[in-house]
Structure 1
């Protein structure tokens, strides 16, 4: 049941993050005619007698990709968020990231889409001549593409160090730093109940639960895109509660979301486990 709830939470988090990544409204989910996976399209500007180009926004969920196609008038892709793939026929796959501009020359066959672990959003600027769809891109060919460095060690280390600092701040009752780390809508799930940011900060500041020491045995980090990360800690927590020190082993799930230049903690959940429990890597 816990795994199911975690999966549902990640799914809802992913949809929420797509909405935040889209500059314009996400629009309607496109029917799977010329693509695989979930893609939301918005027609931002339609060509007219004065402006001879269309502008559309596409938000592609992880593992969503278009089939091979070409544009008789050419097309430019402005990557606004996430990490994706772009490939022209006969050439190597390119990894594209937010801030990149891709120029698809007229009648050059290509495909593009999200990576398996990252959504991608782009604005597509093209002429009025309809797209010509050519060959299907198979899931087998897509799955052969090496994963780009979005799960790189530097990102993993950054989140691990942030999580480690969080335990230190909790032990020191440093509510100022924790208030900056905790998202305003964050939730905390303990053995005795669940509550939100203000209540957690109050508990830490007053010492009604004093997180004296978290002895971390194992850490696993999973990145879902450049801005969404889940970290699992297996810890032995020594806490001072009602005048006594108590020690318990937990698996702690931490959801992080990047906002601007800062990581924010969205969820902190303590799960009781056996002493022999191991986190699957």
Structure 2
């Protein structure tokens, strides 16, 4: 279609007027769909970036970029309908108009009622995750996946390798050297020491089988020591006449321990002569029961 010079001039003027109508320039501000823009670019409508779906063949990522280069970006990246935020740090703050809010909701309807509210599963993979682990906080508030060692801790061990000759009037450590099982690996059969894997309440059972010398008379005792302090004890006055008589002392108890507390089994006899603790039927066992909420 042919336009005269006057027609071309009128078309140009119409285009300029239309542009000024759509793009309002005021104090170096651009407004789209608004007559008085409040920012450098003020849009009162929808903004669309891109046209067709994202394609792996075209690799047509669509970014909004901020700052120097592309260090901070928002865009559809790597997959159709995937929104990716990329930055060195992410900080979520409540606005000045809504102090004390700053809440984030994921897959919820309505407004979030906590600083973070999630409707659905949460997956945290930081290298410490694993089967049956629980998310635990440290004193500074940081969290990590930890195995609840106390809850699945239990052991049973026997005196097996050699009869123990116990001197009179001596606290004698019994090293139960043959483990039946040790779930949690907290009993050391080389030293006879149990180390608490977690703070909480534990159940312990101790059984000591004595073989008495002839004409034995005196007090026999078995006790548990925690960090060098006697905590639980059984005592009995025994008379043995024929020699090789058997006397078994046993007890069970509950102890509230802190993590890494050390528990040992001691025996003592006050008969004036050495007495023997027999193998096979002398044993020590324990397991974790529960962790109080105030630990």
TM-score relative to the length of structure 1: 0.25
TM-score relative to the length of structure 2: 0.24
Higher RCO (Cα < 8 Å, 6 or more apart): 2
Q: Which has the higher helix share?
A: 1
